[in-house]
């Protein structure tokens, strides 16, 4: 089987992290976002993954050489010279996806995190016999999204309603698809949307079916959702593989600490924290609802909540970092500094308090 992962965007919503790396390579729960997807695809028998790349293609390819060898899976790139939307990349990668076998292939948005029920999706697709399957997830406020209207019993999709003013359903597109090769023939080689153009045509021909995604789902393409996604991911890990979580007298709730990280005495860490490889957390530190990425150092008695600390950054002694503060790569916060929602670009030194949310250039 094959899979196509849509990674063409610039990752603007996740800046300043994406100023250092393409979004799919930004760490999530201590490994690059895209690696969560590739590992799950490999587990259900996918042997070739095609990435649609536009931005920082060389960085992506160099990283994925190692992944290819480690996972024994073929990874190729389909390069966009201009942004092609969400359907155009399928037409662009036609020669890589359509090989005459008739096997369906997966399509994923690169910033979607979930339990990836690919095995169940394959079974669902084979059972309904239609041309395309999409994963949908239930949401509390459907009026903010495009809603998928479907038959509850069969999953057959009737129509799509964009940001409905009146209630028509509570299920939205989750950005995970399983498509027959014939779908590629319906897509022109131009910038085009799979949700707005391709799927409505297939639904009109009675060939589109939706499966309700079991477990959690989150689009982690922006900081607030990234932190929410981390909570959901760690909660799922607690249910499925509790041994992967860190335990100890200083740990509260779900916490993931890389084995190469060093934690000092008298800390209080958790809930919902990920501490990456090579990190140093000195004594008396308080961490909650945050990610500390590879090589970062948190000095004594610092307090961090609801924030993302980028690679190789330093947070000084007694500093307080909160309210969706995002430190880019190699940012150094002086001792006793307060940050309330500061978004700090890479390679900066912060010498004065950030009292109101804003960008520090």
d(CA 16, CA 35): 21
Q: According to the model, what pLDDT value does residue 11 have?
A: 62
Same domain, 278 and 138: no
Q: According to the model, what pLDDT value does residue 250 have?
A: 92
Reduced to 3 states (helix: H, G, I; strand: E, B; else coil), residue 189 is coil
Over residues 237-252, mean pLDDT: 91
Q: Does 20 have pLDDT greater than 90?
A: no
Q: According to the model, what pLDDT value does residue 279 have?
A: 96
Same domain, 352 and 259: yes
Same domain, 281 and 198: no
Same domain, 150 and 247: no
**Domain CATH number, residue 128:** 3.90.550.10
Same domain, 64 and 205: yes
What does each C-alpha distance from 260 to 282, 314, 344 come to in angstroms?
14, 17, 26
Same domain, 75 and 173: yes
Q: Does 109 have pLDDT greater than 70?
A: yes
15 in any annotated domain: yes
Q: Does 96 have pLDDT greater than 70?
A: yes
16 in any annotated domain: yes
Percent of the chain with pLDDT over 70: 98
Same domain, 169 and 283: no
Between these two residues, 97 and 252, which has the higher pLDDT value? 252
Q: Does 325 have pLDDT greater than 70?
A: yes
DSSP code string of 120-177: HHHHHHHHH--SEEEEEEE-S-GGGSEEEEE-TTT-BEEEEEES-SS---SEEEEEEE
Q: Of 3-12, 190-199, 246-255, where does the model show the most confidence?
A: 246-255
Q: Does 357 have pLDDT greater than 90?
A: no
Total structural domains within the chain: 2
Is residue 32 within 8 Å of 70, Cβ to Cβ? Answer: no
Return the C-alpha torsion angle 261, 266, 271, 272, nearest 10: -20
Between these two residues, 284 and 145, which has the higher pLDDT value? 284
Same domain, 242 and 281: yes
Same domain, 103 and 204: yes
265 in any annotated domain: yes
228 in any annotated domain: no
226 in any annotated domain: no
20 in any annotated domain: yes
How does residue 7 score in pLDDT terms, banded at 50, 70 and 90? confident
Over residues 13-33, mean pLDDT: 85
Same domain, 289 and 150: no
Domain interval for residue 126: 2-219
Residues 247-280 have pLDDT tens digits of 999 999 999 999 999 999 999 998 999 999 999 9
Task: Give all strands (DSSP E) within 154-247, no chain letters.
Answer: 157-162, 171-179, 208-212, 217-219
Q: According to the model, what pLDDT value does residue 223 have?
A: 86
Average pLDDT in the chain = 88
């Amino acid at each position: 089987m094959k899979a196509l992962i849509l990674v063409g965007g610039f990752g603007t919503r996740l800046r300043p992290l994406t100023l250092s790396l393409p979004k799919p390579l930004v760490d999530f729960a201590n490994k690059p976002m895209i690696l969560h997807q590739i590992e799950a695809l490999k587990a259900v028998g996918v042997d070739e993954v095609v990435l649609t790349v536009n931005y920082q293609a060389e960085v992506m390819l160099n990283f994925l050489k190692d992944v290819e060898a480690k996972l024994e899976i073929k990874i190729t790139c389909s390069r966009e010279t201009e942004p092609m939307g969400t359907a155009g990349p399928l037409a662009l990668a036609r020669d890589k996806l359509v090989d005459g076998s008739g096997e369906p292939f997966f399509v994923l948005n690169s910033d979607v995190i979930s339990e990836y029920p690919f095995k169940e999706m394959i079974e669902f697709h084979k059972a309904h016999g239609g041309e395309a399957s999409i994963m949908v997830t239930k949401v509390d406020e459907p009026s903010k999204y495009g809603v998928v209207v479907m038959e509850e019993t069969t999953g057959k999709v009737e129509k799509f309603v964009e940001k409905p003013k009146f209630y028509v359903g509570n299920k939205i597109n989750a950005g995970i698809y399983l498509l027959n090769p014939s779908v590629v023939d319906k897509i022109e080689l131009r910038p085009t949307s799979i949700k707005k153009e391709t799927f409505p045509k297939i639904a009109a021909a009675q060939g589109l079916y939706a499966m309700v995604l079991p477990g959690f789902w989150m689009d982690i393409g922006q900081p607030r959702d990234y932190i929410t996604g981390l909570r959901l991911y760690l909660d799922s890990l607690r249910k499925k593989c509790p041994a992967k979580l860190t335990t100890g007298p200083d740990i509260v709730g779900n916490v993931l600490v890389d084995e190469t990280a060093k934690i000092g005495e008298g800390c209080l860490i958790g809930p919902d924290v990920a501490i990456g490889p090579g990190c140093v957390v000195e004594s008396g530190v308080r961490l909650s609802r945050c990610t500390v990425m590879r090589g970062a150092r948190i000095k004594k008695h610092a307090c961090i909540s609801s924030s993302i600390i980028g690679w190789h950054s330093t947070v000084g002694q007694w500093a307080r970092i909160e309210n969706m503060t995002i430190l880019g790569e190699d940012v150094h916060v002086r001792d006793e500094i307060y940050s309330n929602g500061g978004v700090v670009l890479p390679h900066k030194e912060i010498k004065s308090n950030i009292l109101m949310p804003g960008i520090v250039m």
